């Protein structure tokens, strides 16, 4: 009897009359977390008692990009029979370990510190996650989030990206997705190009993954209560760069209807004043990187002794043979070679097919996906990039290793008196932090002014010439316990816990969340989530919680708080 009932439930979906059992008695309807996609049924998690949400985790949106599918455009998954359990996050995409990465267990834990600079994750990683408010509401707006990590790290199972609080607070469906990273996500090697598939030949596999996930949303989100005609593409850092890229991509036309790029841009060096650091590199840079990677692999395998002999060897092989050789190498070997040979650095390749060769010029000409845009930046973006103060001619801003830094943050008690000082973390060259010109605050502000701010201004100033609905916020909150308010302040990425409503265990949680700052922190988070909720519904972030009018760019809202209350102003 139990088997028969299970079969009935598995076949009936979630609508229509309640099924009857074998003797005609009314049987229970299927659980609300049993839903149907175009590929098969999925069984999620009913967490209505705790978070007020339902969720589905690790839902495949493409075949694993392994073997012959490595460095190919994503392929739709095969349909599955029966019901797929979607109650656990899918694998992180393989990457070299960083403090922003997944460690050994695809979550935030102590293995992150132990796996730095070693391959973690899997190539079998193209899955997404869905959260929605409990109940039976339909046509809810959809927030589709793309994680950051310099396009070389990151994973959707990071606890800060848990979508439950945002889904409940914004009354929306929240989707987070994995996408390929590093040279497995962006690679420009001529021998991999066939001339028969412009998408694959672009080398923009990560962007194509995101497009494929957006197609899954378009075709299936209605089953989860979402409105496929109201999808907001939201990304932070590298995720924002990818969001800007898709804003200019004809392949993404119609797949999203609003955009929220946070702390990113899409400018080439030629779009910016001299001396600025671009967030987008030309295809030629990635051609050089791809060639150097191939040379290094051949030398390591004894097929060449140097770059010259590597080129000689390549000339004796067909493109198909070189492509097969590259696909024969383990992902771990590839990533180790990238790191050991200094070939890191990944991002959208302006190929002219997936994205324009100059995305800013395309926006200026009106050749882009014209949707309302809500952008955001933090006041102290550069403080998260303190190791790169070397770009300004000084030593790295942080003097301790990432492993030590991770352990310091993970073990920090925000409510206890701490003997830790900024001098324990920061290079003495930048102390005291408030010293004019030479202090940490001044130097990181200079880094911000040549790194993130120029691309922000370039993109928004260009966009506002084409459409009026462009908004921007600046996140100023810096109420962390000492010494972290000096080390990080309102650093790059620190706005995300406020937007997602997640202050639980994650990389920066222990340096953000004290009892003393909780009232103001939660009040600010509530206002930021309300603003995002208003935007995804109407294309306008104005709402009563702000207490002031939010005018389009070049005006902006300043999100800040005291220890006890939100402090929101307009500029």
Active site residues: 237
Using H for helix, E for strand and C for coil, what is the string for 309-336?
HHHHHHHCCCHHHHHHHHHHCCHHHHHH
Q: Count CA atoms closer than 13 A to 514's CA, side-chain side.
A: 21
CB 396 within 8 A of CB 493: no
Instruction: Region of 98 please: left (phi>0), alpha (psi -120 to 50) or beta.
Output: beta
CB 532 within 8 A of CB 260: yes
Residue 182 to residue 343: CA distance in whole angstroms = 10
Residue 36 to residue 550: CA distance in whole angstroms = 40
Residues contacting 231, CB < 8 A, separation 6+: 141, 142, 144, 214, 217, 218, 221, 255, 256, 257, 258
Report whether the peptide linkage leading into residue 49 is cis, meaning its omega lies within 30 degrees of zero: no
Neighbours of 287 (CB within 10 A): 16
Tokens 């997404």 belong to residue: 128
CB 535 within 8 A of CB 258: yes
Please report, for residues 69, 252, 278, the alpha-carbon distance to residue 331 in angstroms, rounded to integers and kept in the order given.
13, 28, 28
| Exposure string over 179-203, b if 16+ CB within 10 A, otherwise e | bbbbbbbbbbbebbbeeeeebbbbb
- Is 542 exposed, middle or buried (CB count within 10 Å of its CB: 0-12, 13-18, 19+)? middle
Q: Count CA atoms closer than 13 A to 448's CA, side-chain side.
A: 18
Helix (H, G, I), strand (E, B) or coil at 262: strand
As given in the structure block, the two tokens for residue 550 are 């939010």
Helix (H, G, I), strand (E, B) or coil at 10: helix
Residue 287 to residue 109: CA distance in whole angstroms = 36
- 319-328 and 283-300 helices cross at what angle (nearest 10)? 70
């Amino acid at each position: 009897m139990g088997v028969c009932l299970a079969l009935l439930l598995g076949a009936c979906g979630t609508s229509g009359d309640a099924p009857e059992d074998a003797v005609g008695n009314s049987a229970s309807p299927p659980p609300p977390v049993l839903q149907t996609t175009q590929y098969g049924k999925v069984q999620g998690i009913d967490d209505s008692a705790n978070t007020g949400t339902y969720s589905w985790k690790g839902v495949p949106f493409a075949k694993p990009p392994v073997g012959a599918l490595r460095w190919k455009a994503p392929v739709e998954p095969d349909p599955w029979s029966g019901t797929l359990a979607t109650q656990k996050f899918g694998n992180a995409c393989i990457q070299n370990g960083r403090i922003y990465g997944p460690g050994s267990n695809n979550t935030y834990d102590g293995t992150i510190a132990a796996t730095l600079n070693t391959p973690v994750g899997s190539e079998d990683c193209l899955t997404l996650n869905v959260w929605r408010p409990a109940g039976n509401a339909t046509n809810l707006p959809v927030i589709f989030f793309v994680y950051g990590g310099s396009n070389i790290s990151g994973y959707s199972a990071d606890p800060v990206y848990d979508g439950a609080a945002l889904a409940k607070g914004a009354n929306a469906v929240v989707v987070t997705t994995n996408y390929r990273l590093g040279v497995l996500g962006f690679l420009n090697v001529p021998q991999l190009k066939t001339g028969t598939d412009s998408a694959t030949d672009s080398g923009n596999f990560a962007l194509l993954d995101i497009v494929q996930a957006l197609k899954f949303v378009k075709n299936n989100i209605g089953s989860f209560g979402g409105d496929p005609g109201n999808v907001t593409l939201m990304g932070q850092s590298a995720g924002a760069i990818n969001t800007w890229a898709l804003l200019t991509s004809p392949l993404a036309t119609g797949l999203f209807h609003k955009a929220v790029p946070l702390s990113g841009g899409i400018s080439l060096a030629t779009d910016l004043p001299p001396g600025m650091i671009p967030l987008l590199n030309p295809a030629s840079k990635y051609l050089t990187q791809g060639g150097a990677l191939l040379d290094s692999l051949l030398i390591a395998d004894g097929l060449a002794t140097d770059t010259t002999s590597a080129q000689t060897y390549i000339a004796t092989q067909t493109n198909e043979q070189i492509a097969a050789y590259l696909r024969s190498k383990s992902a771990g070997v590839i990533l180790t070679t990238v790191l050991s040979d200094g070939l890191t650095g990944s991002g959208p390749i302006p190929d002219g097919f997936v994205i324009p060769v100059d995305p800013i010029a395309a926006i200026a000409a009106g050749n882009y996906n014209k949707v309302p845009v809500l952008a955001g930046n933090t006041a102290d973006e550069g403080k998260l990039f303190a190791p790169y103060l070397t770009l300004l001619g000084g030593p790295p801003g942080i003097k301790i290793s990432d492993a030590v830094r991770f352990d310091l943050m993970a073990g920090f008690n925000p409510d206890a008196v701490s003997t830790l000082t900024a001098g324990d973390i920061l290079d003495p060259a930048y102390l005291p932090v408030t010293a004019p010109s030479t202090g940490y605050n001044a130097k990181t502000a200079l880094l911000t002014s040549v790194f993130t701010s120029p691309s922000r201004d370039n993109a928004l100033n260009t966009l506002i010439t084409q459409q009026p609905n462009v908004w921007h916020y600046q996140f100023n909150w810096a109420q962390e316990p000492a010494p972290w308010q000096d080390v990080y302040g309102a650093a790059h990425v620190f706005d995300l816990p406020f937007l997602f409503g997640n202050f639980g265990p994650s990389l920066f949680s222990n340096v953000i969340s004290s009892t003393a700052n909780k009232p103001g922190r939660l009040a600010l988070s509530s206002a930021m989530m309300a603003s995002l909720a208003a935007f995804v519904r109407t294309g306008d972030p104005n709402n009563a919680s702000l207490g002031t009018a939010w005018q389009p760019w070049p005006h902006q809202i300043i999100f800040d708080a005291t220890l006890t209350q939100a402090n929101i102003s307009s500029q």
